[in-house]
Amino acid sequence: MHRKTIVAANWKMNGDVSLINEMTDALNTISISENQQVIICPPAPYLGALTQANTNARVAVGAQNINEQLKGALTGEVSALMLKDLSVQYVIVGHSERRSLFAETSGLVADKAKQALAQGLTPIVCIGESEDEREQGQTEQVLSEQLAPVLSALDNDELTDVVFAYEPVWAIGTGKTASAEMAQQTHRFIREFIAATDSDAADKVAILYGGSVNAGNYQELFAQPDIDGGLIGGASLKVEEFKTICLAE
Ligand code: 13P
């Protein structure tokens, strides 16, 4: 099965109007093939500016988080309904920073993914183990526990619309990338775990790798059979470097 290559930028709490303009200027001029999808996820205040400035049909806009509710007295929160209204197409849910710094549980992540899909958005569901968990041989157990609530919350036809991102916590922002072989093994495990719920969906869903992906290592990672692209933090803030990665086949 030939899946699309997805290159997604997670700017986290970085970037400004200048970066929106520089990045869209750079990406509006490149030709991205139909087998590729580029997604930029800026901080929420910049989503509107990005949807206006982005004219490259192969570049989509994504948010970094949503509330699981659609509206109400929830000061500071953003809903899937609002993202839809802004023509945002993707939303990251369950990033490890949200899990560890904002106490998001896998159950909550599943509710957010479900709500995103209900509003026609594609959730990018992040999972990943800590360094301790890997050292103690718990990687597969941790990933299973993170995946299970999402798989049970979604119907099979919804599952095919999800993008998963495997981001080992120890590789995020550290410069320590998982080796291509280690990442492939883990992606294979994730795909097999999804296949136990729905083998057809498992074949179709994109599983991105994230954690210190850069212009020097993306090719080897993306060449692995179960790695369908990357979720990129630091390197996605550098216009030329990100542009290079966007041209990955
Ligand atoms: P870095 O690419 O900076 O390691 O960040 C990865 C990440 O967390 C993307 O969501």
Query: Among 212, 218, 241, 245, which residue has the most ligand 1 atoms within 8 Å of its CB, making it the best to mutate?
Result: 212
Give the up-direction half-sphere exposure of residue 13: CA atoms within 13 A in the CB hemisphere. 2
Residue 13: CB atoms within 10 A of its CB come to 7
Would the pLDDT of 249 be above 80?
A: no
pLDDT tens digits, 151-190 = 999 998 999 999 999 999 999 989 888 899 999 999 999 9
* 46 secondary structure, DSSP code: G
Judged on CB neighbours under 10 Å (0-12, 13-18, 19+), 107 is middle
CA angle, corner 221, sides to 157 and 240, nearest 5?
100
Residue with tokens 């949200």: 98
Ligand 1 pocket residue status of 172, Cβ below 6 Å: yes
Cite the active site residues.
Answer: 95, 167
Q: Which residue lies with its CA nearest to atom 2 of ligand 1?
A: 233
Interatomic CA distance for residues 32 and 247, integer angstroms: 6
pLDDT tens digits, 81-93 = 999 999 999 999 9
d(CA 169, ligand 1 centre) in Å:
9
Q: What are phi and psi for residue 206, nearest 5 degrees?
A: -85, 135
Give the pLDDT mean for 42-67.
Answer: 96
Domain count, the chain: 1
Ligand 1 pocket residue status of 231, Cβ below 6 Å: yes
Q: How confident is the model at residue 98 (pLDDT cuts 50, 70, 90)?
A: very high
Interatomic CA distance for residues 46 and 58, integer angstroms: 19
What per-residue confidence (pLDDT) applies to 1? 59
Residue 162: CB atoms within 10 A of its CB come to 23
Domain containing 178 equals 5-246
Would the pLDDT of 66 be above 70?
A: yes
> If DSSP codes are grouped into helix, strand and coil, which group holds residue 21?
helix
Give the up-direction half-sphere exposure of residue 49: CA atoms within 13 A in the CB hemisphere. 16
pLDDT tens digits, 125-143 = 999 999 999 999 999 999 9
d(CA 236, ligand 1 centre) in Å:
9
* 126 secondary structure, DSSP code: E
Contact 9, 239 (CB under 8 A): no
Write the CATH number for 224. Answer: 3.20.20.70
Q: What is the pTM of this model?
A: 0.97
Q: Which residue lies with its CA nearest to atom 5 of ligand 1?
A: 233
Q: Which residue lies with its CA nearest to atom 1 of ligand 1?
A: 233
d(CA 63, ligand 1 centre) in Å:
15
Relative to the CA of 236, which ligand 1 atom is closest?
A: 2
Query: Among 12, 96, 236, which residue has the most ligand 1 atoms within 8 Å of its CB, making it the best to mutate?
Result: 12
Ligand 1 pocket residue status of 234, Cβ below 6 Å: yes
**DSSP strand pairing (163-166 vs 5-10):** unpaired
